[in-house]
Structure formats: C-alpha cells, structure tokens
Amino acid sequence: ILSFQFHRTSSFGAKTGRVPVGIGRRRLRIVVTGGAGFVGSHLVDKLIDRGDEVIVIDNFFTGRKDNLVHHFRNPRFELIRHDVVEPILLEVDQIYHLACPASPVHYKYNPFLLTSTSEVYGDPLEHPQKETYWGNVNPIGERSCYDEGKRTAETLTMDYHRGAGVEVRIARIFNTYGPRMCLDDGRVVSNFVAQAIRRQPMTVYGDGKQTRSFQYVSDLVDGLVALMEGEHVGPFNLGNPGEFTMLELAEIVKETIDSSATIEFRPNTADDPHMRKPDITKAKELLNWEPKVPLREGLPRMVSDFRNRILNEDEGKGN
Ligand code: UDP
C-alpha cells in the first residue's frame, strides 16, 4: 500500500470551510482508493468514526458495496465508481491508496498494480524481514506482475518524493485477515475458514510447512493511520510477527470452527514464498505501533462474519 499525503493541508481547510473536529484538529477530507474492499472499508469506518469526510473511489473489481452500505446516509461519506488507472481530480487533504486486488488468484488476471506489500521481499533469504532487505523476487515468475509492480510503485513514489517534493508514505503490508474478506478470494485464511464452515476439507498447498504471519485487519488500519499521521516516509513493515505454518493454521481453524474438520493436500503454486515474518522494530520505534490482536483472538471475529455471509449465500442472496 502506498499512502500519499498532500502538502499544504493547513490552508485548505479554511478554503473549503471545513469545521474543526474535536479539540485542536480540523476535519480532513480524505480519499480512500479501494475503500469498498476488505482493508479499505475498515479504514473508512475508522476515519468516519473519528469525524473526517471520506470519499471512496472503487471500481468494484474485488470490493463490494455491502462493505460500505452502513455509511450511505452519512453526509460525510461519498462513493465514486471509478478505476484508478484513469485520472480523477479531487481536492483533498490526504489520500490512502489501497486500490489493488491483493490475492494471487485475482492479480494474475489483471497485472497492473500501484501498491506495496511484503511481496517485495519475494521468497526471502533473510528471516524475519527488515525494511532494509532488498528481497528475492523472480522477475519472470507468475507472481512477478504483483511483486515487481509493487517494487516499481515504491520506486516511483520515492522518485516523486525526492524529485517533486511530494509528501509520501509507504507501508509494506503482510498477510491480513478479518471480517469482510472476499469469500472466494483464494487466500489461505479465507479458504480454510470458508471450507471448514461448509464442511469441506481445508486445502493445504504443498507440504503445508511454508509459513506466514497473519495480522488482524484492525491492527493494520491502526498502523496505516499512524503512518499517515506520523513524520516518517517509510517503508514500514505492517504485520503481526506471529508466524505459523499452513498446517498450524489449519489446526487453529479446526479448533475454532469444527473439531472434525479435515485437510486435503494440493500441489503448491509456483514461486510460493517459503517463509514470511515481519521485523517490526522500525514501526514500533518510529510509529509507536504494534499489533494487538493475536490469531486465536482475531479468527473467531472473522468466523462469525463468514458464517453469516455463507448462510446468506446458501439462501440464494449472494455474498
Ligand atoms: N495456501 C494453502 N491453501 C489455500 C490457499 C493458500 O495452503 O487454500 C497457502 C499458499 O500456498 C501460501 C500460503 O497459503 O503458502 C499463503 O497464501 P495466500 O494466497 O493466502 O497469501 P500469499 O501467498 O500472498 O502470502
């Protein structure tokens, strides 16, 4: 995720006549691209709750109106159906640029990306990964449209920062889960949870010994806001250092949802990173941020949302 922030925000509030929010802070007008998506919609909730105006830009490629419907009557909320590859002119104070299908299943069909994540580290040879690590990415692999797209986006962002003085922020987001994830996203947490609820075997790719570190969505949203509001450009790793193999994850999903759940091994996809775990020392020190929700606490919150949506789906109402 690249979070851009404009200069000269201070005079802008007066021009648009926006009123102060709380003590010592005026209301901001904030664009969230991809705001109808999984992470974006949680970020929008937080910004609306604290009193800001939010404009969401989303092409609904993977986002859903359902994720935002609770804001539709709020005069501080606007929603624009628009693809961020086309220009759009809006006067705003801050831009959170989240638009981008983040699942390998989705991005392989649309290899144009503007965001950054832990994938910039590729199949890492340094563990855990610090921001100073330059990564190990196969430039011609199936994942490279995503990995290299994000690496290029980081490059361009830093070029704009150095060359044109644009104020920027860069977050490298590690695997994130929570309510409102797409049911058919193809990510491991959503797959296992949906499979266990539907009483289907959980599909473990490869030997299941590869690791990921799973972050609950509210921790990520807190990190993005801390990054935007802070003084530092980044890049910052935003992730939960709790590291699990896919077999361990399957076990936790089984304990959480259905003790009779089974697993089924499937061939792994090409270039799948063997391990991934963020070193978050930099974010802790400079953003005063660290995740609060461990996997065993976050997973049940996601499960209740998934149960509701799967039930609705079964009743033919769609997800
Ligand atoms: N994975 C799995 N079963 C699934 C989906 C994914 O075992 O049904 C594995 C996948 O091979 C990878 C890990 O889970 O090692 C994380 O995959 P995901 O697509 O969630 O995220 P990413 O690879 O982008 O980290």
ipTM at complex level: 0.98
Least confident of 14-18, 39-43, 57-61: 14-18
142, 207, 212, 271: residue to mutate for ligand 1 pocket, most atoms within 8 A of CB: 212
Q: Which residues line ligand 1 (CB under 6 A)?
A: 104, 175, 187-188, 191, 203-206, 210, 212, 246, 268-269, 272
Q: What is the pLDDT of residue 23?
A: 60
Q: What is the pLDDT of residue 19?
A: 47
CA 154/CA 120 separation, integer angstroms:
9
The 10s digit of each residue's pLDDT in 193-233 is 999 999 999 999 999 999 999 999 999 999 999 999 899 99
Strands of the chain (E only): list them: 2-5, 20-21, 25-26, 29-33, 53-58, 77-81, 94-97, 168-173, 176-177, 202-205, 211-213, 215-216, 236-238, 243-245, 263-266
Higher pLDDT, 316 or 89: 89
187 Cα–ligand 1 center, Å: 5
Least confident of 13-22, 41-50, 290-299: 13-22
The 10s digit of each residue's pLDDT in 12-36 is 333 344 445 656 688 999 999 999 9
